[in-house]
Amino acid sequence: MRSSASPTDERGSSPVEFVLVGALLTALVLAVLQVAFAVYVRNVVHDAAVEGAHYAALADTTLADGAARTREVIGRAVGSAYAQDVAVGQDRSLGHESVVMRVRTTLPVLGLIGVPHGMEVEARAPVESFDVE
């Protein structure tokens, strides 16, 4: 039996085009959502580091208190797995003592799964004291 369809006949191509375009748009939307989630995690971790540095810089708290505050904030927002590597120290920047809070965490690539230690943020805060100068 011979087919009567010509080479320019496009019957039946609409479902194929719908599937191809739908798959492409779905992949694009998921990629945009993943980038947005990675930016969200980075902002949460950075804000937690800033809050922890400012807390540790208070005159009546310790560096360990600031690190604990950073871990707590990250744990509440994105999970405690993202708060495993928190380092705190002091240095002398811009002519005065400063608390430095560094957080190395996972960079999410596929949902919450990502590159371990793929992201590092740092925050500084001037040390407060009761001394009058």
Cβ neighbours, 10 Å, residue 43: 12
Distance CA 68, CA 58 (A): 14
- Please give the average per-residue pLDDT across 44-67, as a whole number: 94
Instruction: Report yes or no on whether pTM surpasses 0.85.
Output: no
For residues 126 and 16, what is the distance between their CA atoms, to the nearest angstrom? 62
Task: List, as one string, the DSSP characters of 16-76.
Answer: HHHHHHHHHHHHHHHHHHHHHHHHHHHHHHHHHHHHHHHHHTSTT--HHHHHHHHHHHHHH
pLDDT-derived band at 65 (thresholds 50, 70, 90) equals: very high
Q: Which amino acid is at 64?
A: A
Higher pLDDT pick, 107 / 129: 107
* Summary mean pLDDT of the chain: 89
Domain boundaries, the chain: 20-126
Q: pLDDT tens digits for 74-127? A: 999 999 999 999 999 999 877 889 999 999 999 988 887 888 889 999 999 999
What sign for the dihedral angle of Cα 123, 127, 128, 132? negative
